[in-house]
Amino acid sequence: MTINITMAVVLAGLYAVGFYLLMQRSLMRVILGIVILGHGANLFLQVAGGPPGEPTFVGTAVLEAMVDPLPQALALTAIVITFALTTFLLALAYRSWALLGHDEVQDDVEDRRIREAELAREEAEEQEEAEPVAGFEAPEAGEEVVR
């Protein structure tokens, strides 16, 4: 069994758009990204399940013509999980909008403080490397070094 090139392109598009939206600063775009990723996962499970076939009732169809029910069950489970996660994230987004008046994700203050401390440490290390050691003078060009 090979995957249809159209479905591969559609899956790639869904995942690309979903991850792009997930990296945005607006909570609504993040939620839309998660929803699109959920749809991409559902489509992937259906494509992985193979072509349609006979129902999986033993004795009513030939074994080779039966379809595997596992991808369909996983897709239904993924739909329920995506719906629950979307509902939860919408509640969080509404709460954020009610408290702050906008839905933009703010920078974490602690992360910013750690990054500034790291930059200051790197700058101090660069200054130590650039300053000569006290009491030591580097020999000039052509001068012999006496030990």
Q: In the structure encoding, which two tokens stand for residue 92, read together?
A: 């969080």
pTM value? 0.66
Residue 26 predicted with pLDDT over 60 = yes
Is residue 67 within 8 Å of residue 49, measured between CB atoms? yes
Q: What is the 3-state secondary structure (H, E, C) of 91-103?
A: HHHHHHHHHHCCC
User: Could you tell me the domains of the chain?
Assistant: 5-130 (1.10.287.3510)
pLDDT digits (tens, 9 = 90+) for 28-77: 999 999 999 999 999 998 888 877 777 777 677 777 777 888 888 888 99
| pLDDT value for 51 | 78
- Read off the pLDDT of residues 69-106 as tens digits, 9 standing for 90 and up: 888 888 899 999 999 999 999 998 899 889 888 888 87
pLDDT per residue as tens digits for the range 127-147:
888 766 555 565 666 666 555
Structure tokens at 46: 């259906």
CA distance 42 to 9: 15
